[in-house]
Structure 1
Amino acid sequence: MKRFGLSRSCCAPQIPPSPRLVPLLALGIAAPAEAGTRADVGSRIFAATDLRSDHLDRPLGTDDTTPTLSWRTLARDQTAYEVQAATSEARLARPDLWDTGRVAGAATAFDYAGRALGSRQRVYWRVRVWSGAVPSAWSAPTWFETGLTDQKDWSAGWVANRQWQLGAKPANPVVVTLPQQTARYVRLDVTKLGFPLAEQPLDSQNRMVTTGGTRRFPDPTYRLQLAELQARDSADPGVNFADGRQKYVTASETQTVRKEWEPGLVADGLTTSNPEDAGNAGYQSAVHTSADADVSLTIDLGATRTFDQVVLYPRTDTLTADGRTPNFPVDYTVQTAADGPFIVAKAVTDQPAPATWLPPALPVFAKDFSVAGRVAGARLYVSGLGVYVPSLNGTRVGDAVLEPDDSDYADRVTYAAYDVTKQIRGGANTIGIAVGNGTADALHTSGRYRKFARTASDPQIIAQLELTLTDGTVQRIGTDSSWRTTLGATTVSQWYGGEDYDARRELPGWDRPGADRTTWSPVVPATSTAKLTARQSEPVRVVEQLPGKEISRPAPGVRVYDVGRNIAGLPQVTLAAPKGTAIRVYPAEALRDGHVDQSISNVGAPIWDSFTSKGTRQTWHPDFSYHGFRYLEVAGVPDDAQLSVAGLRTMADNGSAGDFDSSDATLDGIHRLTRAAVENNMQSILTDCPSREKLGWLEQDHLAFDGRPSGARCPQSVSPAS
């Protein structure tokens, strides 16, 4: 496995060692050789190595048409250099793009200044250096390739799934029609509760409950939960007599979570339980162990009003495991009163659950196409709002994960370019793209941790596949109205709270030629104001797989694993269990009382990933989120299930520019810890922590890093426009 480490230039400014330390320690600092001695023999003295374009090794799809070309030299006294660039490796013998000629100086970086470049151009280049009057041999050639450098080069458009256009989607209330009432008080009296959830509660210290008798996954929790309760007159439905009466709502019981679940929040005017930039969900009752209940909610309208409708808005931010609206009343009465006793205005039994606001799963997209000739080259340019996973003919494209980079999605969205020549075949082909929410669509889900709730965009994608045939013709397949979409197997995608996957929903061969798409829907056009820009650093990749060791079974159905050290990455499970078995994987950096220790103040809580088995042995990890963890607690595991776990360590795949080794174990340990902490936070942006926040606070840049350092190949953490 390739080792990745901290680039030396990614660190804080280097401080010279104390003179008192040097005699005491035998220090070894390994770094790429930059200087030779006069005793060196032959080309080692003058070789130019480690050629980079904008500090990257052979970048594919760059927007920079004048990139910085850099190299390292073994000549301590380099006196001159020469750079040549051409449209092919063979033409470097007589460069058709650029030849600097001999340039005096010790510089090891130079901006490309040859013939003007446009989109889709590969440039081969090489360099030689002088030491005195003696030139080195030419370096081995390298290259860079421009992407779609002008927005006009994008013939593809943004597309979306209609079910996931939530930005303007209203909630689906139940309107209870009454005989005309003249009353001041409205009461909802519930005797049977609706579909339950399997909750993961927190204690009074905001720590995830893992022991004791508190009801939690996998046990179902029954409640009454409503986002809003309104009293309206059908003759003037725009007037809600309950609006603004938060202080005058009383409940027979409540489990209050301040500013999230309070009786008064059913009269705050918010008709969904997941508003942006707010925690207001609505009202929830106490926990019940069955659907039978006696729960009432009363609103004082402030004066006698005339109305003939009571409107009940359901919880909208989550669904039951089988995709239904949770915790909506089934049997209930609506009662009213003026100054005397309450009378029953309407009795309702067997109320169907309202239609869901959230779709039951995240979308996938596909396009079938045919290739008639032989392909000389193929490039896929692709991006998404939300995290996306592209595939061609059933095989994942590239090895990057958690694309695209975090950015200000209103200003710019990064795209990736892939050489997919070897994945294209003659005849039938299929492009597939799965998409999750990411930070572009950070939905609020009550009972699941989130740092913020904000939607920059509903999930949408853009892709442009360009095929160059051997006869010189170009075939382009871009996202347009001919693409098809449906819902996949990922049922929940939360950047902070985790990801749920139901393998029973899988669509075998959905991204391969010949798939049956008769039940799929046409895509709908989407819009984005953001500029598409090429990524400017190494992508995030899985750089290491750490096996998990089972260390305990602290409770029935619960197994705890240790992957050996704290990492940022993806929990991976391999499960063989009966169809319908649902497990939850809780990540954490520490243990407490034999269980993982999650709290809002450490890693965030509650956080989990969920996997539901289709009845066969299967390996799965989240595609649209990551966590910081060392320990994984898996709940809901049958005694006879076969289960193994692993930690897939992720980071921006930056090459190491140096290392440190000494004779002092304490110093070496400090270095290892520091390096690991930096790597765990070196994602698409330089973050403050890989769990609770995952945000690029500026102290990471100003105190520890340069967001675009020379030679460091770190991720770009601050938009040029910011």
Structure 2
Amino acid sequence: MRLLCHRILLLSIVALVWQPAVARTDVTPVGLTCEYAVNPLGLDTPRPRLSWQLQSSERGQRQSAYQVRVASRPALLQAGTGDLWDSGVVRSAQSVHVEYAGRPLRSHQQCFWQVRVWDRRGQPSSWSQPATWTMGILTPQEWRAQWITYTPPPDPGTLPSRLVAALTLNGCRWIWFPEGDPRTDTAPGVRYFRCRFNLPAGMKPQAARALFTADDQFVLYVNGQRAGASDGKGFAWQRAQEIEVAALLVPGQNVLAVAVTNSAPSPAGLAGKLVVQPEAGELFTVITDGTWRCSDREVEGWQQPGFADDAWVPAHDTGAMGIAPWHGVRSPRAADWGQDRPGPLLRKAFRVRQPVKRATVYVCGLGYYELRLNGRKVGDRVLDPPFTRYDRRCLYTTYDVTAQVRRGENALGVVLGNGWYNQHAREEWDFDRAAWRDRPKLLLHLRLELADGSIQTLVSDRTWRGAAGPIRRDGIRNGELYDARRQVPGWDRPGFDDRAWARVAAVKPPQSSEAGERPATPTPPAPQLPAGAPPASGG
């Protein structure tokens, strides 16, 4: 009996001695985030920042060290392997913005990660529950999608589409007589400008338009004939004038002559272009730039083609369209897609040849969009994308649509609205005159990882179809008119007959004359909306 008691006592002592060596702290890492978001999709930063919170029942606990591991597959984490990155034990209390420092990440790559910490006594916690992040499209070259827009069938007698597309002031330069600083303060008076050009031999204009604006007022002459002028109202430079000039052009040498009046000491400038659509061949364009000649004195016959302007001086090139103080100037064609235009419906049917392992869609619809797949809305975002300077940056959103894509026939549908991108109402911030304003447009890239490891891609391009939808008008300030009689049943489902729908047009990305073609950037995470929030309407 005594021997048994001694053995029990010995085992108790061993248990007490051994327990601290294997005991784990009750500190638990929770609330894992990557770049401020929980399990984010579509990151474009090459070294994402990882954060976590500490949970403990003991007051005054703190972190004395951490270890992060990142794997390409969940099974590797379960096996205790971080094939992308294992930080090892890092003696640090940092738990916010720990920068990923592992293998280089690729576009579309999924990453699975977890963390464990050591408490103030140096005891380790258990590993956290795994979290994930997914990379977006990291380089412009990987964007295979085109910006597309719905173009209604033209009415008889309308201008050729190529000419209409060219009737913007993008690419034009503000010019003025070389005196003072035209952007701040210029003496009042009239300045005179000329540009001689030759229409190529044999060119027969099908149509020709001049698009001009001036601060304050202008009168345009073509080959000595008055062609048009500003509207004579205040702030006339805000409203570029489109003028028909085809009947005034002649084969060979022609001249554009413009008289510009600056009515008071103030900024002054002239900007515009001539666009000629020949019966065959490419557009012929003349823009304002430093090759124009100018004078501060009116001389008899200065509007005529034969006038000798050798004594006139080259115009001062003030800067590109979009510079201060004028910023963007809206052309009359910007009103071609006014708030009274129906919201476009765009669709694309496609077939998936194998079971889908993962499906990811990247989408930017301007100004607002609602994405639908096989008859159901994708995601829970509304009023997307957020406002940006659209000529500098457009935001795209990434969705995991694996559960919605099926083997066989599928269909994508998108509703577009004006949003802030095509804002109509006059307001203090001049969004109605923004250089980027244009009709709604779409950029979409769907990537399917199939069961055999192959990749199937579907992008927005000219093969999509478009039609007018039941949203008959929409404006960010003026609300929306929805006509349920014009609903199109089944338009966002496979099997819908869209042969009567129009082909979409491929267009340039949103830009001003100073902005190049920039890829879209991932949309930052959105706050969670309460249950019962209104559905997106595209306007």
TM-score by length of 2: 0.59
Give the structure 2 partner of residue 120 of structure 1.
108
Kindly indicate whether the alpha-carbon contact (under 8 Å) linking 1:495 and 1:624 is maintained by their aligned counterparts in 2. Answer: no
Give the structure 2 partner of residue 398 of structure 1.
379
Give the structure 2 partner of residue 480 of structure 1.
461
**Aligned pair in 2 of structure 1 residues 246, 60: CA closer, same or farther (>3 Å)?**
closer
Kindly indicate whether the alpha-carbon contact (under 8 Å) linking 2:368 and 2:538 is maintained by their aligned counterparts in 1. Answer: yes
**Aligned pair in 2 of structure 1 residues 143, 73: CA closer, same or farther (>3 Å)?**
same
Give the structure 1 partner of residue 538 of structure 2.
624
Give the structure 2 partner of residue 84 of structure 1.
69
Q: Which of 61, 64, 83 pairs up with 2:45?
A: 64
**Aligned pair in 2 of structure 1 residues 128, 113: CA closer, same or farther (>3 Å)?**
same
1:623-664 C-alpha deviation (Å, 9 max, x unpaired): 234xxxxxxxxxxxxxxxxxxxxxxxxxxxxxxxxxxxxxxx
Q: Which of 489, 501, 510 pairs up with 1:520?
A: 501
Larger Rg: 2
For 1:106 and 1:271, the matched residues in 2 are separated by 65
User: Partner of 2:76: helix, strand, or coil?
Assistant: helix
* Residue 423, structure 1, aligned to residue 404, structure 2: yes
Give the structure 1 partner of residue 143 of structure 2.
154
For 2:466 and 2:375, the matched residues in 1 are separated by 16
Q: How does 1:98-177 map to 2 (within 5 A)?
A: 98-109=85-96, 110-131=98-119, 132-163=121-152
Q: Which of 416, 421, 431 pairs up with 1:440?
A: 421
Q: How does 1:658-669 map to 2 (within 5 A)?
A: none
Give the structure 2 partner of residue 198 of structure 1.
none
Kindly indicate whether the alpha-carbon contact (under 8 Å) linking 1:490 and 1:501 is maintained by their aligned counterparts in 2. Answer: yes
For 1:234 and 1:134, the matched residues in 2 are separated by 86
For 1:244 and 1:43, the matched residues in 2 are separated by 80
Kindly indicate whether the alpha-carbon contact (under 8 Å) linking 2:338 and 2:424 is maintained by their aligned counterparts in 1. Answer: no
**Aligned pair in 2 of structure 1 residues 506, 533: CA closer, same or farther (>3 Å)?**
same
Q: Which of 491, 510, 513 pairs up with 2:491?
A: 510
For 2:347 and 2:419, the matched residues in 1 are separated by 20
User: Partner of 1:45: helix, strand, or coil?
Assistant: coil
Cα deviation, residue 463, structure 1: 0.6
Where structure 2 has 5 or more consecutive residues not aligned to the other structure, the ranges are 1-22, 154-160, 169-219, 244-331, 510-516
Give the structure 1 partner of residue 292 of structure 2.
none
Give the structure 2 partner of residue 24 of structure 1.
none
Kindly indicate whether the alpha-carbon contact (under 8 Å) linking 1:87 and 1:122 is maintained by their aligned counterparts in 2. Answer: yes
Give the structure 1 partner of residue 301 of structure 2.
none
1:528-583 C-alpha deviation (Å, 9 max, x unpaired): 123311122x22654244xxxxxxxxxxxxxxxxxxxxxxx85xxxxxxxxxxxxx
Give the structure 2 partner of residue 635 of structure 1.
none
Give the structure 1 partner of residue 276 of structure 2.
none
User: Partner of 2:449: helix, strand, or coil?
Assistant: strand
**Aligned pair in 2 of structure 1 residues 246, 114: CA closer, same or farther (>3 Å)?**
closer
For 1:269 and 1:71, the matched residues in 2 are separated by 55
Kindly indicate whether the alpha-carbon contact (under 8 Å) linking 1:121 and 1:146 is maintained by their aligned counterparts in 2. Answer: yes
Give the structure 1 partner of residue 84 of structure 2.
97
**Aligned pair in 2 of structure 1 residues 469, 105: CA closer, same or farther (>3 Å)?**
same
Q: How does 1:187-336 map to 2 (within 5 A)?
A: 239-240=227-228, 243=229, 246=232, 270=241
Q: Which of 36, 45, 48 pairs up with 2:26?
A: 45
Give the structure 1 partner of residue 365 of structure 2.
384
For 1:104 and 1:358, the matched residues in 2 are separated by 59
Kindly indicate whether the alpha-carbon contact (under 8 Å) linking 1:383 and 1:416 is maintained by their aligned counterparts in 2. Answer: yes
Give the structure 2 partner of residue 465 of structure 1.
446
For 2:117 and 2:226, the matched residues in 1 are separated by 78
For 1:464 and 1:74, the matched residues in 2 are separated by 40
For 2:417 and 2:231, the matched residues in 1 are separated by 38
**Aligned pair in 2 of structure 1 residues 167, 504: CA closer, same or farther (>3 Å)?**
farther
Give the letter aligned to residue 119 of structure 1. S
Kindly indicate whether the alpha-carbon contact (under 8 Å) linking 2:358 and 2:449 is maintained by their aligned counterparts in 1. Answer: yes
Kindly indicate whether the alpha-carbon contact (under 8 Å) linking 1:402 and 1:540 is maintained by their aligned counterparts in 2. Answer: no
1:139-160 C-alpha deviation (Å, 9 max, x unpaired): 1111111011111111111111
Q: How does 1:312-711 map to 2 (within 5 A)?
A: 360-444=341-425, 452-455=431-434, 456=436, 457-528=438-509, 529-536=517-524, 538-539=525-526, 542-545=529-532, 623-625=537-539
1:283-318 C-alpha deviation (Å, 9 max, x unpaired): xxxxxxxxxxxxxxxxxxxxxxxxxxxxxxxx9999
**Aligned pair in 2 of structure 1 residues 357, 139: CA closer, same or farther (>3 Å)?**
closer
Give the letter aligned to residue 101 of structure 2. A
For 1:77 and 1:234, the matched residues in 2 are separated by 80
For 2:342 and 2:428, the matched residues in 1 are separated by 19
Kindly indicate whether the alpha-carbon contact (under 8 Å) linking 1:158 and 1:525 is maintained by their aligned counterparts in 2. Answer: yes
User: Partner of 1:91: helix, strand, or coil?
Assistant: helix
Give the letter aligned to residue 489 of structure 1. P
1:672-704 C-alpha deviation (Å, 9 max, x unpaired): xxxxxxxxxxxxxxxxxxxxxxxxxxxxxxxxx
1:479-510 C-alpha deviation (Å, 9 max, x unpaired): 11111111111121211221222122211111
User: Partner of 1:415: helix, strand, or coil?
Assistant: strand
User: Partner of 2:111: helix, strand, or coil?
Assistant: strand
**Aligned pair in 2 of structure 1 residues 244, 473: CA closer, same or farther (>3 Å)?**
closer
Kindly indicate whether the alpha-carbon contact (under 8 Å) linking 2:343 and 2:471 is maintained by their aligned counterparts in 1. Answer: yes
**Aligned pair in 2 of structure 1 residues 505, 234: CA closer, same or farther (>3 Å)?**
farther
**Aligned pair in 2 of structure 1 residues 507, 483: CA closer, same or farther (>3 Å)?**
same
For 1:233 and 1:67, the matched residues in 2 are separated by 59
For 1:516 and 1:169, the matched residues in 2 are separated by 35
User: Partner of 1:383: helix, strand, or coil?
Assistant: strand
For 1:356 and 1:48, the matched residues in 2 are separated by 52
Give the letter aligned to residue 372 of structure 1. R
User: Partner of 2:485: helix, strand, or coil?
Assistant: helix
Across the aligned residues of Structure 1 and Structure 2, the Cα RMSD in angstroms comes to 3.4
For 2:167 and 2:53, the matched residues in 1 are separated by 56
For 1:410 and 1:114, the matched residues in 2 are separated by 35
Kindly indicate whether the alpha-carbon contact (under 8 Å) linking 1:401 and 1:539 is maintained by their aligned counterparts in 2. Answer: no
| Percent of aligned pairs sharing the same letter | 32
Kindly indicate whether the alpha-carbon contact (under 8 Å) linking 1:163 and 1:359 is maintained by their aligned counterparts in 2. Answer: no
TM-score by length of 1: 0.45
User: Partner of 2:62: helix, strand, or coil?
Assistant: coil
Kindly indicate whether the alpha-carbon contact (under 8 Å) linking 1:409 and 1:530 is maintained by their aligned counterparts in 2. Answer: no
Give the letter aligned to residue 405 of structure 1. P
For 2:222 and 2:123, the matched residues in 1 are separated by 93
Give the letter aligned to residue 129 of structure 2. A
